Structure 1
Amino acid sequence: MTSPMPAPAFAGVPGAVPRSPVGLGRAAAALLGLVIAADLFAVWADVVEMNVAGDLADGVTGSDVLDRADRADSLYRGAGVAQVTALLATMAVYLCWLWRVRVNAEVFNPGGQSKARGWTIGGWFVPVVNLWFPRRITLDIWDSSAAWADRPGHALVNSWWFVWIVSLFADRAAATMYRRADTAAALRDAARQMLFSDAFDIVAAVLAILVVLKITRMQHEKALAGPVPIPALG
């Protein structure tokens, strides 16, 4: 019987060690919570806008309605600024976290990454491929980060990506409706569509938090567990 082979570094990468994703993961999750707060503010603004536009569409007039309409427009613009600010801040930290866990995934399992490393960031910004590359990259990271003897299912990642895509298209549809709205009734419909979009964005952010925390936890635990043991041959 031959002697047991020594356990290599992670997945056979000489001297490679993963870097902790815990700090970035917590920061990304916290900022995703800020996105949820901004979306809740936007939902309130959508409801106010929808109610005022509905009154105007029903023929309700008077200075009170016009004052409410002005306040609704100001509220809607403020919600938009809050959403954009939260999104940009979250995007910066989230992409830093994603890059960290992607590099770690190569340490754990260099042969398990189906896309080049550059797509980890670029895949979000290139039209068309951004509809599926980030999901594929996340799944590769997910599988590579799991415990050596464990391969959790993809339901959480797939659910997050589905809801994110729905919210993305719903937002674009709502923006188009707002640009084209030339009556109070059309504005009410646009506000209703934006309410749908913001609600889905909240769900997507909640699922994104769960994905971030799960991958962060899996990588932390896998790093602590050390390299996969190699059984004796004989």
Structure 2
Amino acid sequence: MENPYQTPAADVIAAPATHTAWAFKNPTWLTWVCRACLVAGALVSLLMIAVVARQYSLFEEAAANGWTVDDVYAESGLTFLAATLLQFMTMMASFVFIGMWIYRAAWNGRVFAGARQLDFTPGWSVGWYFLPIANLWKPYQAMKEIWRASARPDKVDDAEVPGWLPLWWFLWLAFSITSNFAGRNSMKANTPEAEMDAALASITCDAINVPLCFVLLLIITRVHRMQWQRQAERLQALAG
């Protein structure tokens, strides 16, 4: 029976014949794609802030002049729809590729530190994001473990975690909460005043997403760099 943990030959960095089934997987292309998605996500959020701020001013005029919500959307709806579609596509791409990157980074962490030192499998490092309640802290613990296994695979528990990680998780939770709130407000808004409240929530959400993207970009870049350093050391030790 074929080993389900055996990785494709194209994704594995060559190593001496003594390597285990947990073979290092090259994270470079995923890292670059994630960087591009995060930069695009930050730029699209800035665009959305400008678009929604314009809509907010139109709803203010509508409230003052007795216009309806349909009147505002007749004037600015096409621009708003295009920006929203662009943001949706960018976010979906980010979720997919960052999820793939987390899986691969967790896999490589097991290559360096060994499975016995780690609590989170590659699958659950991603899977915890989709489980209610547990997704409030489990994904953060998994990311900390990835960082520690990449920084100090010999002593995972002693590895220091930089302030970027708790900042990233705080911004992620804030983004998730405000995004949910903005979506609910937008769905039930049927007056200019209600649309103004929804617009403010949307602007807040996008304002949080900009630093969130750049903090996560920094984390991904540093983990990628550490994992290549660990792989070089590992190959040198095996060859020496």
Scaled by the length of structure 1, what TM-score is found? 0.82
Return structure 1 stretches of 4+ with deviation > 6 angstroms: none
Question: Which residues of 2 match residues 1-234 of structure 1 at below 5 A?
Answer: 14=20, 16-59=22-65, 69-110=73-114, 111-147=116-152, 151-226=159-234
1:66 to 1:122, Cα distance in 2 relative to 1, 3 A? closer
Which one has the largest radius of gyration?
Answer: 1
Tell which has more relative contact order, 1 or 2 (C-alpha 8 A, sep 6+): 1
Cα offsets for 1:56-78 (capped at 9, x unmatched): 1222769xx98764232222222
Unaligned runs of 5+ in 2: 1-14
> Counterparts of 1:21 and 1:180 in 2: how far apart (Å)?
43
Unaligned runs of 5+ in 1: 1-8, 230-234
State the AA in 2 paired with 1:218: M
1:148 to 1:120, Cα distance in 2 relative to 1, 3 A? closer
Cα offsets for 1:134-162 (capped at 9, x unmatched): 11111000000015689343311110111
Of all paired residues, the percent bearing the same amino acid is 22
**CA contact under 8 A between 2:59 and 2:192: conserved in structure 1?**
yes
1:55 aligns to what SS in structure 2? helix
1:127 aligns to what SS in structure 2? coil
1:58 aligns to what SS in structure 2? helix
> Counterparts of 1:147 and 1:119 in 2: how far apart (Å)?
21
> Counterparts of 1:160 and 1:80 in 2: how far apart (Å)?
24
Which has more helix, going by share of residues?
A: 2
> Counterparts of 1:160 and 1:149 in 2: how far apart (Å)?
26
For residue 82 of structure 1, report the CA deviation from its aligned partner.
0.9
**CA contact under 8 A between 2:120 and 2:142: conserved in structure 1?**
yes
**CA contact under 8 A between 1:39 and 1:83: conserved in structure 2?**
yes
Scaled by the length of structure 2, what TM-score is found? 0.80
